Amino acid sequence: MNDILPEQTSTWQHVEAVARATLQDYGYQEIRMPILEKTELFKRSIGEVTDIVEKEMYTFEDRNGDSLTLRPEGTAGCVRACMEQGLLYNQVQRLWYTGPMFRHERPQKGRYRQFHQIGVEAFGMEGPDVDAEQIFMSARLWRALGLSEVRLEVNSLGSQEARAAYKAILVEYLEAHQDQLDEDSRRRLHSNPLRILDSKNPDMQALIEAAPKLADHLDTESRDHFQALCGYLDAAGLAYRVNPRLVRGLDYYSRTVFEWVTDRLGAQGTVCAGGRYDGLVGWLGGKPTPAVGFALGLERLIALLETLEAVPPPPAPHAYLVVAGEAALAQGAVLAERLRDAVPGLRLQMNCGGGSFKSQFKKADKCQAGYALILGEEEAARGEIGLKPLRETGEQRVLPEAELIDHLTEIVNQ
């Protein structure tokens, strides 16, 4: 688990605000789902023989004996919500969500047992154009955040039927070389053999490189779908690499899969991942519905921004109100409210708890305020306020409240 402290939250808020604006620009609407779901939902959607279900879920029985799970990912819950609320019947949906997910993983840098994701899902569109839209949208998000050191990898997993046939061929190949498999790969050999292709074990790379290629066993429709997707990416001038070893760890994926990866975060290099899952709605009892989505990990994304020194500074107060004397103290809080009413968007921090002029100016400097507003006994008696620049050269002035409001308005609108 990990606390997000005040000095970090401005970065989180920045990323969330940029993501929200980008997604809304593409017509995606926010949906909010519960953190707790019935365990059966994840077993049916993710797959009982995946690492998530076998080893990583936080599952418990409630007082009624029902098995509940803290959500390890968001897609299954989003599909469940759409089915229950009638959002999928003869409709197209573009949705997004954000919030905490939970997995009992081995703690390491960049991985937390409570982590945060932004997820994006689109339902009811079967063509490669919506796959391309989501890739373009994620690329636009990176540009809006000032990220350049991420690269796109794409692949196709084919249909469920074609992949099942390929799995049999792959298992036969791997069984003939079991002595070269590590312990984790032997465990996955018959339950989830595609994940062996994604192994980072250097001793297995030659074996994996020589394995039969899924691309050689795609069904015709999936091959055409993937070629059309690549055509969209080429036409847009978006650089990408076809990675035949790119697979997803969840059973519900089919056809398009993609990842945005970086070399700047060590072993945890995947920042965003997604793809098609046309069969999931049917698996969960709904009418078969084409679907595609992706999720980005906020912890990794923010770690990358920090590594690249692309984190914007937190918004500092425009002004800090220094007050001293009984008359000023009586008027200070009310004055601050009048100024906030008169100047929309004004970030004004008022000194509370007393203190000398010197100590209050230190506080104003520490919070990086641009100006100090000074209300002492004399100013309070005359109905005026002092204005002193703190981040630039300039003389202190004493202004009537109306003139001060005009000046603060200019500062806010700069």
Binding site listing: 73-75, 103, 117, 121, 248, 252-253
Question: What would the DSSP string read from start to end of 280-329?
Answer: HHHHTTS----EEEEEEEHHHHHHHHHHTT-PPPPPPPSEEEEE-SHHHH
Distance, C-alpha 259 to centroid of its chain: 14
Nearest Cα residue to 123 out of 112, 113, 108, 134: 134
CB contact set of 244 (below 8 Å; sequence gap of 6+): 155, 213, 214, 215
Point out the annotated binding site for L-histidine. 73-75, 103, 117, 121, 248, 252-253
76-79: which pairs have CB atoms within 8 A and are 24 or more residues apart? 76/37, 76/41, 76/42, 76/45, 76/46, 76/280, 76/284, 77/33, 77/34, 77/37, 77/41, 78/31, 78/33, 78/119, 78/121, 78/293, 79/45, 79/121, 79/280, 79/281, 79/284, 79/286, 79/291
Q: How far is CA 39 from CA 145, 152, 154, in A?
A: 36, 33, 31
β-pairing verdict for 151-156 and 241-242: parallel
